[in-house]
């Protein structure tokens, strides 16, 4: 594929996500989790402490902006606005897939811009499938890490998106080669954490077992209920056959709350809850269930197109809602929130009760 096609596709994704309704019709199922209100919370709202550590880095709240963009001129401004906001709020940030700059270094500046900011946790982003299709190795990872002075590397798994794109890379067979690539990287370069990341369809329990075997330090579940890639591609694709194919999968995916339960049950590393996290209440529920941190993309992208102050507003609102929730359930800090009681209702309970046969 001509690399200009990659740049154009990135820009189309941004425009579609900004102007179209690209969120799942179905829910994350966080609405099926209830935290137990305390009429006697025995804590002071003013003193609620949301600080936490993620991969050894101190964040002011358990929140990161997950990978969105890079690889075309408009992306530079978006990444700058996100970087400025997360620096101010002391949160983590990922960049979008760095493949565009791996194949064409002239667009690297749209990622490099974030090096100008003092961000406590910077996460790079490469696609799992390219380690098979393009035989990428540890040296490619190092180029991506250096580009942003990264502290961690997310490897994204996006089988649905690849399958419904006419130009998609669809060979995920033999993905365990990542085990060797990651361990070679850690030996040859540095021991940064590697995060396996979905992009909005979620990981199953079986996936989490495989990802642990490969040696991932973290999993970002990126489940369904937020941005839907079937929807984004449905708007973008012109080819009739692929348009119809994407339409069939508008409802596909594991709701984020379900994927979070699946992953935290079997994975011993760090768990990030993302995919449709839209409020501090969703964040509190995620952490009570077992996530170490939450991630958000779409609302941040839309704000970043307006400016960094808008991004600050979105993230500050979520943190304020998190604090209010923690107060209402009597949890003074994130450690206490991790022990908070909750109940599981309705459809979420069905997903968890009716196990796929082992």
Ligand X SMILES: Cc1cc2nc3c(=O)[nH]c(=O)nc-3n(C[C@H](O)[C@H](O)[C@H](O)COP(=O)(O)O)c2cc1C
Annotated binding site for FMN: 66-69, 97, 125, 197, 227, 276-278, 297-298
> In this structure, are residues 127 and 97 in contact, taking their beta carbons and an 8 Å threshold?
yes
| DSSP codes joined into one string, 304-326 | HTT-HHHHHHHHHHHHHHHHHHH
Task: Determine the interface stretch with ligand X among 209-217, 258-266, 269-277, 328-336 (rule: CB under 6 A).
Answer: 269-277
* Window 130-169: residues binding ligand X (CB under 6 A): 154, 156
Is residue 120 close enough to count as binding ligand X by CB under 6 A?
Answer: no
List the end-to-end C-alpha distance of the chain, in Å, as a whole number: 40
| Shortest Å, Cβ 73 to ligand X | 15
CA-based torsion, 297, 300, 302, 304: positive or negative: negative
Fill in the DSSP letter of residue 94.
E
| Shortest Å, Cβ 282 to ligand X | 10
Neighbours of 210 (CB within 10 A): 16
Q: Which residue is nearest to ligand X (CB)?
A: 226
Is residue 275 close enough to count as binding ligand X by CB under 6 A?
Answer: yes
Bridge partners of 344, per DSSP, are 33
- Of 328, 87, 123, residue with least CA distance to 222: 123
φ, ψ dihedrals at 32, nearest 5°: -95, 5
Q: Residues 314-343 vs ligand X: string with x where CB under 6 A? A: ------------------------------
Is residue 280 close enough to count as binding ligand X by CB under 6 A?
Answer: no
Q: What gap in Å lies between CA 259 and CA 51, rounded to an integer?
A: 25
Task: Determine the interface stretch with ligand X among 10-18, 37-45, 53-61, 134-142 (rule: CB under 6 A).
Answer: 10-18
Q: For residue 208, what are the CA distances in angstroms to 197, 204, 219, 263, 297?
A: 11, 6, 8, 6, 22
- Of 153, 147, 273, residue with least CA distance to 215: 153
Task: Determine the interface stretch with ligand X among 137-145, 219-227, 239-247, 279-287 (rule: CB under 6 A).
Answer: 219-227
Known binding-site residues for Mg(2+) equal: 162
- Per CB under 6 A, the list member of 218, 226, 253, 255 interacting with ligand X is 226
- Per CB under 6 A, the list member of 50, 52, 110, 227 interacting with ligand X is 227
| Shortest Å, Cβ 93 to ligand X | 11
Name the site residues for ligand X (rule: CB under 6 A).
13-14, 17, 66-69, 96-97, 125, 154, 156, 197, 199-200, 222, 226-227, 274-277, 296-298, 301
């Amino acid at each position: 594929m001509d690399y200009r096609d990659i740049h154009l596709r990135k820009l189309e994704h941004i425009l579609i996500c900004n102007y179209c309704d690209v969120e799942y019709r179905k829910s994350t199922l966080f609405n099926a989790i209830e935290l137990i209100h305390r009429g006697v919370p025995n804590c002071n709202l003013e003193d609620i402490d949301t600080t936490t550590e993620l991969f050894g880095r101190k964040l002011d709240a358990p929140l990161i902006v997950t990978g969105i963009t890079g690889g075309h001129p408009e992306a530079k401004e978006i990444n700058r606005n996100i970087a400025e906001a997360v620096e101010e709020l002391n949160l983590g940030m990922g960049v979008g897939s760095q493949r565009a700059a791996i194949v064409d270094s002239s667009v690297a500046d749209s990622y490099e811009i974030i090096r100008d900011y003092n961000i406590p946790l910077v996460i790079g982003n490469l696609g799992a499938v390219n380690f098979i299709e393009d035989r990428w190795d540890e040296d490619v990872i190092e180029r991506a890490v250096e580009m942003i002075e990264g502290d961690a590397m997310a490897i994204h798994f996006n089988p649905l998106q690849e399958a419904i794109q006419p130009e998609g890379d669809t060979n995920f067979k033999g993905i365990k080669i990542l085990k060797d690539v990651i361990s070679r990287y850690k030996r040859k370069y540095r021991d940064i954490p590697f995060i396996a990341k979905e992009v909005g369809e979620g990981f199953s329990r079986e996936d989490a077992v495989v990802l642990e075997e490969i040696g991932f330090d973290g999993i970002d579940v990126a489940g369904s209920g937020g941005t839907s890639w079937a929807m984004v591609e449905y708007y973008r694709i012109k080819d009739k056959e692929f348009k119809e194919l994407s339409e069939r999968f508008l409802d596909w995916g594991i709701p984020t709350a379900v994927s979070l339960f699946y992953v935290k049950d079997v994975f011993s590393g760090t768990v990030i809850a993302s995919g449709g996290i839209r409020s501090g209440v969703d964040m509190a529920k995620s952490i009570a269930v077992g996530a170490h941190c939450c991630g958000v993309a779409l609302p941040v992208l839309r704000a970043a197109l307006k400016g960094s102050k808008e991004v600050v507003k979105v993230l500050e609102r979520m943190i304020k809602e998190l604090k209010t929730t923690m107060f209402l359930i009597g949890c003074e800090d994130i450690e206490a929130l991790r022990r908070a009681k909750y109940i599981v209702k309705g459809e979420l309970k069905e997903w968890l009760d009716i196990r796929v046969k082992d």
